[in-house]
A and B are shown apart, each in its own frame.
Chain A
Amino acid sequence: MKILKYIIFIYLLVSVNYLSAQEENLQNKITKNLRCLICQGQSVYDSDSEFANSLKIIVKQKLSEGKSEKQIYNFLEDKYGKWILYDPEFSKNTYFLWILPIFLFVIGGVLILKLFIIKKN
């Protein structure tokens, strides 16, 4: 019963990343993932500041040149550093970031099983 649940989670986790590529306008998706650097906590998509507007134009240009999403992120990361990206990519710097919560989840499950469910002698 529980194993089934685990399988479903993992499947869903994978599918989220997989399927989300097809959703919505790619331009919107990219600009939602970019931080407006002169605003205090807004994405380029949400912001109407000068910087955000210029960045939207650049994203549009690059997309029409045929660049992929990853290439655009690399281009901007090169100019502005990783901070401009809201989605922390899964790299050696961020292993813990992504894995730690899942790890804690698994530990939690194990703890509950051991302490409360499995019959003690």
Chain B
Amino acid sequence: MKNKIFPTFLVFFFLSIFFIFFKGLQNSNIYIPNTNLEKNIPSFIAKLFDSDDNISSEEIFKENKFYLMNIWASWCVPCREEHSFLMNLSNEKNIEIIGFNYKDNNAKAKSFLSELDNPYNLIISDKDGTLSIEWGAYGVPESFLIYNNKIIKKIIGPIDKDLFFEIKELIQ
């Protein structure tokens, strides 16, 4: 009888490993840092893009409306793809678009905006990328939908049509 216990145990052992791998296959492999949802926005002081002044986060996000914080750069190709959606959103009354110019050259950023138009109510310079890290971002483009000083939605990568409609709905 003792001889049957060990093989049976092994069979169950391997079966359970099989099920775990099976479940593991179904999990998405793209790592999105969980949370950042309903998280408070970081408090910071940053330099404005078009002047030498500084501005604090409290000043930027003070009103009771939606804000879309968008990380962009003139050298970033997918940023061009999402630009039209940003322009559209900038026409909405209850949302303001704040730009974080990421590791960019001022002249090139300005010509990017004059070429494609400027959807931003305000632009902040993040020359070394450290401010974006405070937000838990890791590249361009990324966007954060904010309300009441809380991050409601985090978008990694360019805003596409589906995300655009989702944002539009959320801000109603």
Contact = CB atoms under 8 A, between A and B. Distances in A.
A–B proximity contact (CB within 8 A): yes
Interface residues of A, number: 14
A116 B129 CA distance: 61
A26 interface: no
A83 B136 CA distance: 13
Contacts of A54: 103, 128-130, 132-133
Interface string A44-59: 0000001101110110
Most chain B beta-carbon contacts within 10 A, residue among A51, A53, A57: A51
Nearest to B136: A79
Contacts of B129: 50-51, 53-54, 57
Interface string A4-47: 00000000000000000000000000000000011000000000
Interface string B83-103: 000000000000000000011
Contacts of B130: 54, 57-58, 61
Contacts, number: 39
Interface in B1-60: 31, 33-34
B117 interface: no
B33 A58 contact: no
Interface residues of B, number: 15
A50 B139 contact: yes
B134 interface: yes
B165 interface: no
Secondary structure at the B interface, as helix, strand, loop or mixed, is loop
Interface in A52-103: 53-55, 57-58, 61, 79-81, 83
Secondary structure at the A interface, as helix, strand, loop or mixed, is helix
A61 B133 CA distance: 13
Given A81-B34, A83-B31, A57 B136 contact: no
B1 to A, nearest CB: 21
Contacts of A57: 128-130
B31 A79 contact: no
A79 to B, nearest CB: 4
Contacts of A58: 130, 133
Given A53-B129, A54-B132, A55-B133, A37 B138 contact: yes
A106 B164 CA distance: 57
A115 to B, nearest CB: 14
Given A38-B139, A50-B103, A53-B129, 15 more contacts: A37-B138, A38-B138, A51-B129, A51-B139, A55-B133, A58-B130, A58-B133, A61-B130, A79-B33, A79-B135, A80-B33, A80-B138, A81-B31, A81-B33, A81-B34
Interface of B: 31, 33-34, 102-103, 128-130, 132-136, 138-139
Interface of A: 37-38, 50-51, 53-55, 57-58, 61, 79-81, 83
